[in-house]
Amino acid sequence: MPIRAISDKQYKGVSELYRKSDGQVTGYYVTYRDIDGRPIKRRVDADNRDDALLSLSEIKQNIDLEKQGKAMSSTVRKPIPSVLKKVTATTKPLIDVPVNNMKDHQKIISAHKGIAIVSLIDIVAFDDINILYGYETGVSIVDQMQSTIHDMLKEMDSNGIFSKHSVETFSYDLFNVYADKLCLFIKNDFNHRLMDLIVKTLLTKISNHNFIISDDNHIHINATIGATKAEGSASLIFAEKALKEAKSYRSSYIFHDSNATKNEHLANNVYETLISNIKEKTVTPYFQGIFASADSTVPYKYESLMRILDSKGRVLSPAVFMEKSKDYRLYTQLMIQMIDKVFDVMAKHGTAVTLNLSYMDINNTELCDKLMYKVKKMKIGKCLTIEIVESEQIQDIDMVNEFIFSLKKNGVMIAIDDFGSGFSNFDTIMNLDIDYVKLDGSLVSKIHDKKYRIMLESMVKICHDLGIKTIAEYIYDESIMEAAIDIGVDYLQGYHLHQPSQWDSVKETFGLGQAVNA
């Protein structure tokens, strides 16, 4: 049967197989170039031209991925043998596959029976080496790093270090996981102190080593190591976690205890809980009253606080899920639900509410667009105060100010949370156009200490001089409340006055729409 090309440009690369007698289309062919650039024409299983186009785009995507993989292995690293060396043992490779990616490494590690140690070794600031000296030097540095590790293990063995610690035979694999990351997979159950000794020796060896970059020049580099001792497939993941932790704390080495693997189910529950709350739309705003100092009976406005429900309908606090939701990249979906529900309360009851946003949220276009859309559409900007949390993370003051002014044009007010703690300082309030400052709870809780009282009093005075109103949180008892009023704080918030609860309960406690700022 003949093939004819489709004239519509949208279907470029797709051709029809048709019956000459009646012109009926009986199938589809796609044309593309393979990974080596050779033209290929092949029949695809498709019912119509759109299906065929979809198949073509999938084929092209796979080729692109293959090309990327090929480019990585040719420019960044050399092909690595699956088992590089063994010190004294003569084990066979566990899996006879070419080791190219994380999945293959994972297979080898998972196939090992018994306890093993997985260490991930990462070259500090490897990007700089690539940028300053070029990719070829980068590849050479990784090779030299591998040789250094092999040499060190051999040296330790010949010095009798392993036998001294009752390790008569041991074998290891060394993989180049990707770019500058190496995986040292020791197939033995070492004492943690022996592992510490290996790492210490290795780090010293690396930092003292002259890494050759040209015939007459060398540089010094440092490495970060994340390790774990475990049985089974989770060990590589735990070594990754350890490495991530080491990097974030700028430590050279973190060992992740293997018992963690047994507890992982609890963390996984959090993921399931998050997904369920997103699907079932059970993100639940709680509200805590903020009271004027002169009147602690009826809230001036309410702070909205996010809660989610577990499988038994029990309320979970942010400490349980907030960080995890960010790790799993599910936070935006939770926050969008939160915004919808908080705005519903504001619209229905004319209640003045504060909504917490972090710098990360302000950077999130989807969230900000949603918020602005709601503020404009529902015309309730005057009821809303945006409370900027974790303001120490603000990098781009201009961007935040732009966001603040766009809100202020719609009547929204701005507050800074946890003022006085860590880096949430005067510099922030000088540079941002804000209406309220919330004094940090950890400082307020120590208000009876003379030094803290003086500091808080000064903070309140400076804020007042700048035309900013102050809120004291953590009003835990009558004495803290009296002291806060005494130093001139404008508004009060805390368990002594009101515990966070769902809107229905708030309505019962204070009566519908009692906030007076709207």
Binding mask 87-106 for other proteins (x = CB under 8 A): --------------------
**448 to each of 170, 462, 483, 484, how far by Cα in Å?**
61, 20, 7, 10
Query: Is there a contact between 273 and 334 (Cβ–Cβ < 8 Å)?
Result: no
Helices then strands, each counted (H, E), the chain:
18, 21
Residue 284 region, left (φ>0) first, then alpha (ψ -120 to 50), else beta?
beta
**320 versus 378: smaller Cβ distance to other proteins:** 320
Q: How far is the CB of 263 from other proteins (least distance, A)?
A: 5
The structure tokens listed for 216 are 């007459």
Q: Report the nearest approach of other proteins to the CB of residue 259 (Å).
A: 5
User: What secondary structure letter does DSSP report for 91?
Assistant: P
The footprint of other proteins on residues 287-326 (CB under 8 A) is 310, 314-317, 319-320, 323-324
- Considering only 7, 263, 311, 365, the residue that binds other proteins (CB under 8 A) is 263
Q: Is 259 in the site for other proteins (CB under 8 A)?
A: yes
Q: Which of 198, 206, 223, 270 binds other proteins (CB under 8 A)?
A: 270
In the complex, what is the shortest distance from the CB of residue 476 to other proteins, in angstroms, rounded to a whole number?
6
With beta carbons less than 8 A apart as the criterion, state whether 211 and 222 touch.
Answer: no
Min dist. Cβ of residue 324 to other proteins (A): 6
Among 14, 99, 198, 254, binds other proteins (CB under 8 A): 254
Smaller CB distance to other proteins: residue 146 or 358?
A: 358
Structure tokens at 366: 């989807």
Answer for the pair 108, 235: CB distance below 8 angstroms, yes or no: no
CB-nearer residue toward other proteins: 211 or 255? 255
CA–CA distance from 389 to each of 225, 362, 392, 438, 517 (Å)?
33, 11, 8, 10, 22
Residue 494, interface with other proteins (CB under 8 A)?
A: yes
Could you say whether residue 262 binds other proteins (CB under 8 A)? yes
Q: Should residue 257 be labelled a site residue for other proteins when binding is judged by CB under 8 A?
A: yes
**In terms of CB distance, is 314 or 451 closer to other proteins?**
314
Residue 93 DSSP one-character state: P
Q: How far is the CB of 258 from other proteins (least distance, A)?
A: 8
What is the rounded distance in angstroms from the CA atom of residue 191 to the CA atom of residue 231?
15
319-378 residues near other proteins, rule: CB under 8 A: 319-320, 323-324
**What residues numbered 170-229 form the site for other proteins, per CB under 8 A?**
192, 196, 199
Q: Which of 16/303 has CB closer to other proteins? A: 303
Decide: 498 and 299 in contact? Cβ < 8 Å: yes
242 binds other proteins (CB under 8 A): yes
User: How far is residue 241's CA from residue 120's CA, in Å, rounded to a whole number?
Assistant: 10
Q: What angle do CA 10, 15, 20 make, to 5 degrees?
A: 135
Q: Which is nearer to other proteins, 57 or 479 (CB)?
A: 479
Please report, to the nearest 10 degrees, the dihedral formed by the alpha carbons of residues 507, 508, 509, 514 taken in order: 30
Smallest distance from other proteins to CB 443, Å: 14
Task: Tell me the C-alpha distance between 192 and 240, whole Å.
Answer: 18
Q: State in angstroms the smallest separation of the CB of 319 from other proteins.
A: 4
Q: Phi/psi class of residue 413: alpha, beta or left (left: φ > 0; alpha: ψ in -120 to 50)?
A: beta
Residues that bind other proteins (CB under 8 A): 192, 196, 199, 241-242, 245, 251, 253-257, 259-260, 262-264, 266-267, 269-270, 310, 314-317, 319-320, 323-324, 474, 476, 494-495
